[in-house]
């Protein structure tokens, strides 16, 4: 049982540490462009990811007591992964592209023709920031 808690704790720390990645490197990995001056990165702050990971670590430590704590641990790990949602808005002279992904791993690439073209997925708090970055 101790090994399982250690593995889960290391997994939580590994997921949380991916938010520490340098902004220019994240822009490069998401957009695939070496010149990151025309790429706008939208993501949650490190403090948000850190606080969710601390909550997950606490539930990991007390998860033996009740089944409720195991469910809360699973929910907090899911929130931790969702908080790593990242958007890179690539603005070229003739088009705008939105690349969404988790941390530095691109998942969805969308070329913006009209303002509401791209699907945002699970980005309840970043949706307005992405729209604002596209329009600017």
In terms of residue numbers, what domain contains 54? 2-135
pLDDT at 48: 86
Count of the separate structural domains present in the chain: 1
Per-residue pLDDT at 116 = 65
Q: DSSP labels for 56-97? A: HHHHHHTTTT-HHHHHHHHHHHHHHHHTTEEEEEEE-SS-EE
- With cut-offs at 50, 70 and 90, classify the pLDDT of residue 129: confident
pLDDT at residue 33 above 80? Answer: no
Share of the chain above pLDDT 70, in %: 90
Tell me, what's the pLDDT at 96? Answer: 82
> Is pLDDT of 124 > 80?
no
Which has more pLDDT, 130 or 47?
A: 47
Measured CA distances, 4 to 18, 20, 39, 60, 88 (Å): 22, 25, 40, 10, 36
Predicted confidence (pLDDT) per residue in 46-94, tens digit: 888 888 888 888 888 887 777 888 888 888 888 888 888 888 888 887 8
β-bridge mates for residue 123, sequence order: none
Residue 108, helix vs strand vs coil: strand
pLDDT of residue 123 exceeding 80, the answer is no
Burial class (CB in 10 A: 0-12, 13-18, 19+), 45: exposed
What is the residue-averaged pLDDT of the chain? 81
Q: What is the largest CA-CA distance in the chain?
A: 58
Question: Scanning the structure block, which residue is given the tokens 């990151």?
Answer: 36
What is d(CA 8, CA 13) in angstroms, rounded to the nearest whole number?
9
How do residues 17-32 score in pLDDT, each as one tens digit?
888 888 888 888 888 7
| pLDDT at site 108 | 83
| Dihedral pair phi/psi, residue 91, rounded to 5° | -110, 110
Q: Find out whether 29 and 87 touch, Cβ atoms under 8 Å.
A: no
């Amino acid at each position: 049982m101790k090994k399982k808690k250690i593995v889960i704790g290391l997994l939580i720390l590994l997921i949380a540490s991916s938010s520490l990645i340098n902004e220019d490197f994240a822009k490069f990995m998401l957009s695939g462009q070496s010149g990151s001056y025309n790429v706008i990165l939208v993501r949650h702050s490190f403090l948000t990811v850190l606080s969710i990971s601390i909550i997950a670590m606490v539930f990991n430590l007390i998860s033996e007591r009740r089944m409720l704590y195991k469910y809360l641990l699973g929910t907090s790990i899911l929130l931790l992964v969702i908080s790593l949602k990242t958007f890179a808005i690539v603005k070229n002279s003739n088009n705008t592209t939105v690349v969404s992904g988790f941390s530095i791993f691109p998942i969805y690439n969308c070329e913006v023709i009209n303002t509401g073209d791209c699907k945002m997925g699970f980005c309840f708090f970043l949706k307005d920031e992405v729209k604002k970055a596209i329009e600017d």
